[in-house]
């Protein structure tokens, strides 16, 4: 018994599926934050603590909904060796910039 290979959908359909999924995830996360913001009493909406909490809620809602579309994107890009080599090369740069930014931010306080 051999495994059948299914042809990939056209590029436009794949791009629309991934980008549309991210757009839907962003819209649903925005709706979740709006509902949560409406339920917070006026006295607790002061300054940055409420804003930080709403930002974390948005990231949680968006990240949770976007995981399926990210997995789909990774599945479709699994055979692109140049892309993965570029990503592996960019990872140390991203980590270094994060560490440097955190270090500079801690010095300015």
Q: How far is residue 62 from each of residues 22, 30, 56, 93, measured CA to CA in Å?
A: 8, 8, 10, 25
Q: Give the pLDDT of residue 7.
A: 74
- What pLDDT, on a 0 to 100 scale, did the predictor assign at position 3? 65
Instruction: Name the residue with tokens 């090369």.
Output: 89
Per-residue pLDDT of the chain (109 residues; tens, 9 = 90+): 566 666 777 888 888 888 999 999 999 999 999 998 888 777 666 767 778 888 889 999 999 999 988 888 888 888 888 888 888 888 888 888 888 888 887 776 5
| Cα diameter, the chain | 67
Question: 65: which 2 tokens?
Answer: 């909904």
Secondary structure of the chain in HEC code, one letter for each residue: CCCCCCCCCCHHHHHHHHHHHHHHHHHHHHHHHHHHHHHCCHHHCCHHHHHHHHHHHHHHHHHHHHHHHHHHHHHHCCCCHHHHHHHHHHHHHHHHHHHHHHHHHHHHC
pTM: 0.67
**8 Å CB contact between 68 and 21:** yes
Could you state, in order of their start, the residue ranges of all structural domains in the chain? 10-78, 80-109
Per-residue confidence (pLDDT) for residue 25, from 0 to 100: 92
């Amino acid at each position: 018994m051999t495994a059948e290979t299914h042809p990939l959908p056209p590029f436009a359909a794949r791009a629309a599926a991934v980008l549309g999924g991210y757009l839907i995830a962003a819209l649903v996360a925005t709706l979740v934050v709006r509902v949560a913001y409406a339920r917070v009493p006026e006295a607790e909406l002061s300054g940055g603590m409420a804003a930080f909490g709403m930002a974390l809620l948005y990231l949680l809602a968006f990240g949770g909904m976007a995981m399926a579309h990210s997995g789909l994107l990774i599945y479709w890009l699994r055979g692109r060796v140049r892309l993965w080599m570029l990503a592996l090369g960019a990872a140390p740069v991203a980590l270094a910039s994060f560490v440097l930014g955190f270090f500079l931010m801690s010095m300015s306080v």
